[in-house]
Chain A
Amino acid sequence: MRRLPRILRIVAAAVSLVISLSLFCGSGVALSNWAAFQLGPALARLAAAFTFGALGIAVLILALTFLFGRFYCVLLCPLGILQDLIGALSFRKSRPVKNFPLVRYWVLLAALLALALGWAIGWRLLDPFSEFGAIAGGVGARIHTALYNHWNPETTLPVRPGFGWSLAAGLVPLAILTALVVWKKRIYCTAVCPVGTLLGLAAKSGWFRLTLDKEQCVKCGKCVRSCPSGCIALAKGEIDNERCVRCMNCFSACPVGAIHYGHPAAAPVDMDRRRLLIGGAATAAVTVAAVCGFKPTAKQAAADQGAVYPPGAGSAARFRSKCTGCQLCVVNCRGNVLRPAGDGADTVHLKFDRGMCEFNCDNCGRVCPTGAIVPMALPDKRRCRIGLAEYIPPLCVAVADGTDCGACAEHCPTGALRMEPDSRGIRIPKLTSELCIGCGSCEYACPVRPERAIVVRPVPIQVRSTDPEEYFRTHAKPAEPAPAGDDGWLI
């Protein structure tokens, strides 16, 4: 019976990891509520687009952690479960790990400051869900797409571009994580992860704790060798509930039943308050200085100006300060236009070489777990201007060759581009900018190479475009069908 908690934990974790992977393998929209229960993104959402829902989720997770401990880390956190999986595959026994309380408190402080002050990169590098996203989106989703397309040649998934870069962005964290796990199991979770540290603070003096009964203990060390957090001090007969992730391995491993889970009487050990305060103040100062001192170089600034961001991003500055780069939007983009950081911009952005921002798709806003892409109802998304088309007549086929083309106008979903005869009677594109939403349909469709005759330029801030129905009610009269003949037939 003592084995049951561990077995249940492993089964639940396996299901959870599959669901989290599915988020990045084509089911992001259907499972977006799952991502909402990730604490890291929920905290980011509090800073990016405050909702009481996100606050409720954060409070709920912390309250449950206070009551029962850091079950979140073994059941919900996909990066944590991935580490357990790597750990199991490494076949190495666990050893006690030194406690680094000050390191993790300072990291937590730095991460929260980065979040609050709008330096998303700082948060992105530490937040477990964003790291998992880099791995699942950059490596996992690619493997899934390749296998799926191999077995389902008639319903292929879109192949995401930027193979090398995005693969590296996933492989590097995966390699670092693997090295850490092989070295000291969940040391990331107990010494670095800001989400884990926050949960640890909730669990430290929590209601239910794991305790070691010194009277019963035979000092066989089986618990220590099974503990991924390395938080069991056998000599002292103590389990550090702050670092314990409730994998229940020790509980199952103990041959004499000396490990108990319940409400204890003993009070936890106190921290060295002075060191904590001094270190905290120093970290705060360094973080604030780093954030304030973080000024993009001229090249970076130019790249950001040259990027189009997803509908709901607001502006380059806002989006950069809120997006944690988890890639959930990238791998769920129907038009295959969202690209991860790199490729000319240091955050998620759009490129129109493989498709257009699909008019009827609002996946990115629906899957974004941090609120960096503010979710919009589809009618609002359809009028959210993320860029502005610029027509370059000398490059245009219709102007240069005098032949019909109309690829841009054909694809334009809002009527911003229509073909109208010029002085020679050639139908050329006419751009009505107030209707343009910058979806890139025209740029994608334009057949002119290497430079296209119509391109989407970034806008400084996303605004609402003119309502096409309103516009065409007042500006254009749709053509009527030819009048009927005497017998009522049109032909």
Chain B
Amino acid sequence: MNRREFLKTSALTAVAVAAMSKLPGAALSAAEAPAAGPLPDLVAVRNGTPAEMFRKGIEALGGMKAFVKPGQKVVVKPNIGWDKKPEEAANTNPELVAEIVRQALAAGASEVTVFDHTCNEWQSCYKNSGIAAAVTEAGGKVLPANLKEHYSRVERPEAVKMKNALIHNAILEADVFINVPVLKHHGGAKMSCAMKNFMGLVEDRGFMHRNDLQQCIADAVLYRKPDLNVVDAYRIVTSNGPRGVTPADVKTPKYQLLSRDIVAVDTMAARIIGFPLESIPHLKLGEKLGYGTMDTAKLKIARIDA
């Protein structure tokens, strides 16, 4: 860590600590934070545990209070798609999900719910991913997403292919939506990350697969723009994704990305996993729908070693 980085991180940390303190008006001053200059658009953290990296990353973005106001309902949407253990990296890291739940509650959230529309039998996924236990211990609540009655019909005329969809009620009811994908290779979409994670909000995934998957992934984000995206790239499946078949499919780069911009965060994620951007068409389609940018050179990016 060089001196400039050290100073920058210290300043950000100081602001964040102020923000976390119980002084009246602390959150306000952090959100405006003129002294430290504008907050970064995207934060990349590396070389820590998933929970450590999140603590550093969210500090750099102004602390959890910049995202969660007291009394708000928060929904955290990890990837819990598979009946796989944490070290198999097919699901979001449970420690990371738990840390987000804890911080959201500490910031005053009235409740924090966690769910995913799983691919394998849902109770095995919730249990064996370690996420159900971690979330419950952190004070959050896991919700089922296995029945049609957990979803409501929503219309988005501006979507290109998926103009209406059944979307999980927790997403529709929440004040704050934190999207927490795990970065993975994906046979169909090429890469599974923040945008692809939206397939877990949708009841009829078959429709998306049938009707131009890449466009439908881009369309899905229109149903509820996330307030924060946290990409878990601590362990990643780099081949035979999204499930992974053998231990050789899993790599451990120990990264984490945080941003409000879902296209930008996925663009950076593609660089971590080493896939050409043009092989992941939903990035460009998302940019075209106007909710994010692939031009990461124009973004203010903070790089932090945890």
Give the interface residue-count category, chain B.
Answer: 35 or more
A-B CB contact pairs (8 Å), 5 listed:
A155-B144, A397-B210, A418-B240, A448-B210, A491-B268
Q: Is the CB of A481 within 8 A of B238?
A: yes
Q: A407-B188, A427-B190, A482-B271 are in contact. Are A476 and B239 (CB under 8 A)?
A: yes
Whether the pair A406, B186 counts as a contact (CB closer than 8 A) is: yes
A481 and B191 alpha carbons, distance in the complex (Å): 13
**Could you tell me the distance in whole angstroms from the C-beta of B290 to the nearest C-beta in chain A?**
22
B210 near A404 with CB under 8 A, answer no
Contact with A along B241-252 (1 / 0, CB 8 A): 011011111010
Give me the 5 closest cross-chain CB pairs, A-B, nearest first: A406-B188, A482-B274, A447-B206, A409-B187, A478-B239
Main SS class of interface, B: mixed
> Across the interface, which residues of B come within 8 angstroms of A356, CB to CB?
120
- Interface mask (A50-73 → B, CB under 8 Å = 1, otherwise 0): 000000000000000000000000
User: Is A410 a contact partner of B121 (Cβ separation < 8 A)?
Assistant: no
Expressed in whole angstroms, the Cα–Cα distance for A413 and B82 within the complex equals 10
B303-A489 in contact (CB<8A): yes
Q: Is A282 an interface residue (CB 8 A)?
A: no
Chain A CB within 8 A of B139 CB: no
Q: In this assembly, does B87 line the interface, its C-beta being within 8 Å of a C-beta of chain A?
A: no
A405/B209 in contact, CB under 8 A: yes
CA of A410 to CA of B213, assembled, Å:
13
- Complex interface residues of chain A between 82 and 112 (CB less than 8 A to chain B): none
Binding site for A on B (CB under 8 A): 44, 46, 83, 119-121, 123-124, 128, 143-144, 146-147, 185-190, 205-207, 209-215, 236, 238-240, 242-243, 245-249, 251, 253, 255, 268, 271-274, 281, 303
Contact B187 A427 (CB under 8 A): yes
**Given A404-B213, A405-B213: A478 touches B44 (CB 8 Å cut-off):** no
Q: A33 contacts the other chain (Cβ, under 8 Å)?
A: no
List CB contacts (< 8 Å) of A396-453 with chain B: 397, 401, 403-407, 409-415, 417-419, 427, 445, 447-448
**Which B residues are CB-close (under 8 A) to A405?**
188, 209-210, 213
A397 to B206, CA, bound (A): 11
The answer, yes or no, to whether A480 is at the interface (CB within 8 Å) is: yes
Instruction: Select which of B44, B83, B238, B246 is within 8 A of A468 by beta carbon.
Output: B246
Supply 18 further A-B pairs (C-beta < 8 A) apart from A407-B209, A414-B245. Answer: A154-B143, A359-B83, A360-B120, A360-B128, A406-B186, A406-B189, A427-B187, A427-B190, A447-B207, A469-B248, A472-B248, A478-B239, A479-B274, A480-B238, A481-B273, A482-B273, A491-B268, A491-B271
Kindly state the separation between the CA atoms of A414 and B243 in the bound complex, as whole angstroms: 9
Chain A residues near B120: list those with CB within 8 A. 356, 358-360
Chain A residues with CB below 8 A from B247, complex form: 469
Question: Is A355 an interface residue, CB under 8 A from the partner?
Answer: yes
A155-B123, A418-B187, A468-B246 given; A490·B207 CB < 8 A: no
A317 to B245, CA, bound (A): 33
Query: Which residues of chain A are near B147, meaning CB under 8 Å?
Result: 156
Rounded to whole Å, the gap between the CB of B132 and the closest CB of chain A is: 10
Q: How far is the CB of A333 from chain B (nearest CB, A)?
A: 10
CB-based contact A491/B212 at 8 Å:
no
Instruction: Give the residue name and chain of the B residue nearest to A425 (CB).
Output: B279
User: How far, in whole Å, are A479 and B272 apart by their CA atoms in the complex?
Assistant: 12
B274: chain A residues at CB < 8 Å are 479-482
B144→A410 contact, CB < 8 A: no
Residues of B contacting A397 with CB < 8 Å? 209-210
Which single residue of chain B is at the shortest CB-CB distance from A412?
Answer: B243
Say if the beta carbon of A473 comes within 8 Å of chain B. yes
Residues of A within 8 A of B246 (CB): 415, 468-469, 472-473
**Would A154 and B144 count as touching, CB distance under 8 A?**
yes
Point out the residues of chain A lying under 8 angstroms from B189, CB to CB: 404, 406
Q: Are A415 and B272 in contact (CB under 8 A)?
A: no
| A490-B271, A491-B271 known; A472 vs B188 contact (CB < 8 Å) | no
Indicate whether A355 sits within 8 Å of B121 (C-beta atoms), given known contacts A415-B240, A481-B251. Answer: yes
Judge whether A335 is part of the interface by a CB distance below 8 angstroms. yes
Any chain B CB within 8 A of the CB of A246? no
Answer yes or no: A361 CB below 8 A from chain B CBs: yes
Minimum Cβ distance to chain B for residue A141 (Å): 17
**Does A481 lie within 8 Å of B121, measured CB to CB?**
no
Docked pose: A491 CA to B264 CA in angstroms: 12
CA distance A401 to B123 in the complex (A): 35
A-chain residues with CB within 8 Å of residue B273 when the two chains form the complex: 479, 481-482
Known: A427-B187, A447-B210, A473-B248. A358 touches B121 (CB 8 A): yes
Residues of A within 8 A of B255 (CB): 490-491
A334 at the interface (CB under 8 A from B): yes
Residues of B close to A415: CB separation below 8 A? 240, 245-246
> Restricting to A191-225, which residues have a CB under 8 Å from any CB of B?
none
Whether A410 and B83, one on each chain, are in contact in the complex, defined by CB atoms closer than 8 angstroms, is no
Given the complex of chains A and B, what is the CA–CA distance between A404 and B242 in angstroms? Answer: 15
Give the residues in chain B near A156, CB-CB below 8 Å: 144, 146-147
Q: Do B206 and A491 have beta carbons less than 8 Å apart?
A: no
Whether the Cβ atoms of B248 and A478 lie closer than 8 Å is yes
Q: How far is the CA of A155 from the CA of B136 in the complex (A)?
A: 14
Chain B residues with Cβ below 8 Å from A418 are 187, 240
